Amino acid sequence: MKTSHLAVLALALTGFSSQALAWGADGHRAVAAIALKLLPPDKAQAADNLLNNSDVGRGFVDAASYADEVIRERDHRHVFSPWHFVDWPADAATYSDSFCDPDCIVNELPKQIEAMRTSTDMEAKALAMSWVIHLMGDLHQPMHVTDRGDRGGNEFKVTYNGRTRCRESNSTGAEAKVELHSAWDSCLVFTLESGRTFDKLADDLRGNLTTYKGHPAASGTMMDWMKETHQVGIDTAYDGLSNGDDIAGVYIAHALPVVQQQLLNAGIRLAKIIDENF
């Protein structure tokens, strides 16, 4: 993908292709559940109330998947799909505006943060917040910011423990067709859950943390966070894989701690963004 403004991204904190959903519902909700418990209680309650009492019609945690479950299923899907990712090539050491054409997460996440912060219309503010919750999760899914000419792993064929489909979540029992992108969206998250619900996973990842403030992951800019995720895509997601490989044993053992860290980092940083802009 191509064009965007790094300056816009920095200010938020101090060829078209359509990607698969990021993290799946369980991953997105786990990120939101972590963030909700790291926010000041009054801010967490206010955010939850705003979303519940708007057309979004769901609380903070469930709103994490609103962009996938509702917006993508309505009209103009082709307009919103590019918001979720940027095709930053794995062999490009530095980011270029040329990776974001016609649009991408680098443009849209800062816009939604600004709308959440400044809008006086409660419906617009709630919708923007639902986008922020979702896109902050997307920003930490390595297949959403790393690409080897395969649409962020969507055209990178693999199997998962010898299977062509994998479970997406504990809650739905649904299965996803496996390619590298969905392996990171769903298969690895489901394996990480290991029988736990997404909210139990979120609590276990959060541990004793009660605030994002002072945590090392809360430092840096959004561009720093995207660079970090892009590196994960290079060092872990694509590492050692060829088209048609089976994702199993050693790969999964290496990837699971990374998935765990990415989900936790996303939750910490989401709490920071909400607290500072709502």
Q: Is the pLDDT of residue 165 over 70?
A: yes
Average pLDDT for 221-236? 97
Contact status, residue 27 vs residue 189, Cβ threshold 8 Å: yes
Token digits of residue 248: 């199993």
DSSP-derived pairing of the beta strands 246-247 and 165-167: unpaired
Token digits of residue 91: 């062999």
Cis peptide before 102 (omega within 30 of 0): yes
Q: CA 62, 64, 66: angle at the middle one, nearest 5? A: 80
Tell me the per-residue pLDDT of 192-213, one tens digit each, with 9 for 90 and over. 999 999 999 999 999 999 999 9
What domains lie within the chain, and their CATH numbers?
A: 6-277 (1.10.575.10)
Average pLDDT for 232-236? 97
Tell me the per-residue pLDDT of 84-131, one tens digit each, with 9 for 90 and over. 999 999 999 999 999 998 899 999 999 999 999 999 999 999 999 999
Can you give the pLDDT at residue 76? 53
Q: Is the pLDDT of residue 11 over 50?
A: no
Token digits of residue 146: 């790393």
- Other C-beta atoms within 10 Å of 262: how many? 23
* Residue 159: its H or E element: strand 159-160
Can you give the pLDDT at residue 25? 86
Average pLDDT for 242-253? 96
Least confident of 111-115, 119-123, 164-168, 216-220: 164-168
pLDDT band at 69 (very low <50, low <70, confident <90, very high): confident
pLDDT band at 77 (very low <50, low <70, confident <90, very high): low
